[in-house]
Amino acid sequence: SSGETAGIFTPKQEDYQKVYDDIAKLLEEKDDYDDGSYGPVLVRLAWHASGTYDKETGTGGSNGATMRFAPEGDHGANAGLVAARDFLEPVKQKHPWISYSDLWILSGVCAIQEMQGPVIPYRPGRHDKDIVACTPDGRLPDASQGNKHLRDIFYRMGFNDQEIVALSGAHALGRCHTTRSGYEGPWTFSPTVVTNEYYKLLLNEKWSWKKWNGPKQLEDKTTRSLMMLPTDMAIVTDKTFKQWAEKYAKDEELFFKDFSNVIVKLFELGVPFAEGSEKMTLKPTNV
Ligand code: CCH
């Protein structure tokens, strides 16, 4: 089975599948969290680990898991992600050979697939780094801003406009917490299932500013139970972004294909994979 040569453990696909299965099992067991799943917060952990990447300097990205350390873990954008890291700790204890960096990304892949999303090909090979590799604050997007800010942040990682819109569809999942970001509420009525509902709601609902003491956010006029951030609104007020939002609202299959491609790119930013390393497809639980 697993390759063991002179005490050096060389994990194979079947070993990653075991880790995947353990994360999936925990997701199923721990259903008393938020809307019934840790899935969304695991996706957010994997995204925030990756989204610090700067293509000019090659710093940041998922290779390092530096969010384990206080400077980066305490960045405002990362508030609440300790819930995801703690959720994964028993998995790390059971499979100590996997790096935190690879584990966090594997958990994002697992969460997306288990929440009925597209297949996300996975490639391991990340190594945990020391505290000195922590990225400076301010690399992740600020929800109070608009289209220029989105381009500044995502172009820095090497993404284009289409990719920005495809990535934003992740907000079909999960919710905002006043205790974390200050914002409140979910984007969709099915926050634990991957869908193209984010685009449909953005385009088809009427949105107005929520009247409250919190930060500026929008609410849907029909039920007033859903939310959009100012940055979400930029996806339909910017002409170029909007064209992609319209395509994804109409065609969930296209969204799934583009979302899978762009999230693989996100998860691999700045990772020096070994020569000849290959992506693997890990098997979802219920198919
Ligand atoms: Fe996001 N996101 N995100 N987001 N995000 C929040 C929650 C989630 C922004 C701001 C916020 C992406 C892009 C952006 C998820 C995935 C992605 C929250 C609420 C804010 C604020 C945090 C809280 O209070 O708990 C901004 C700004 C951008 C700009 O583009 C991208 C890209 C992804 C993934 C591909 C997920 C999932 C959540 C839900 C987390 C949860 O705990 O439910």
pLDDT at 3 over 80: no
| Domain contains 219 | yes
Percent of the chain with pLDDT over 70: 97
Torsion region of 175: left, alpha or beta (phi above 0 gives left; psi -120 to 50 gives alpha): beta
What pLDDT does 263 receive?
A: 98
Ligand 1 nearest atom to the CA of residue 183, by list position: 24
The whole-number average pLDDT for the span 115-122 is 98
CA gap 274, 51 in Å, rounded: 22
CA 77 to ligand 1 centroid distance, Å: 9
CA gap 102, 127 in Å, rounded: 7
What pLDDT does 287 receive?
A: 62
CA 263 to ligand 1 centroid distance, Å: 14
| Residue ID of nearest Cα to ligand 1 atom 10 | 143
Enclosing domain of residue 171: 147-261
pLDDT classification of 245: cutoffs 50, 70, 90: very high
Q: What Å distances lie between residue 121 and 135, 161, 175, 213, 283, CA to CA?
A: 26, 23, 26, 42, 10
Q: Choose among 265, 263, 260, 268: nearest CA to 61.
A: 268
Tokens standing for 50? 């990756």
The whole-number average pLDDT for the span 249-267 is 98
What pLDDT does 154 receive?
A: 99
Pair (129, 181) in one structural domain:
no
pLDDT classification of 2: cutoffs 50, 70, 90: low
CB of 47 shorter than 6 A to ligand 1 = yes
Is the complex ipTM higher than 0.95? yes
| Domain contains 220 | yes
**What are 85-102's pLDDT values in tens digits?**
999 999 999 999 999 999
CATH number at residue 92: 1.10.520.10
The whole-number average pLDDT for the span 231-258 is 98
DSSP 273: P
Pair (109, 162) in one structural domain:
no
Mean pLDDT for the chain overall: 96
CA 177 to ligand 1 centroid distance, Å: 11
Domain total of the chain = 2
| Domain contains 285 | no
**Are the beta carbons of 35 and 192 closer than 8 angstroms?**
yes
**What are 185-237's pLDDT values in tens digits?**
999 999 999 999 999 999 999 999 999 999 999 999 999 999 999 999 999 99
CB atoms within 10 A of CB 188: 20
| Domain contains 161 | yes
CB of 166 shorter than 6 A to ligand 1 = no
| Residue ID of nearest Cα to ligand 1 atom 42 | 41
Residues serving a catalytic function are: 48, 187
pLDDT at 1 over 70: no
With a CB cutoff of 8 Å and minimum separation 6, the contacts of 30 are 38, 87
What pLDDT does 52 receive?
A: 98
pLDDT at 175 over 60: yes
Ligand 1 nearest atom to the CA of residue 231, by list position: 27
| Residue ID of nearest Cα to ligand 1 atom 19 | 176
Pair (178, 110) in one structural domain:
no
Pair (132, 156) in one structural domain:
no
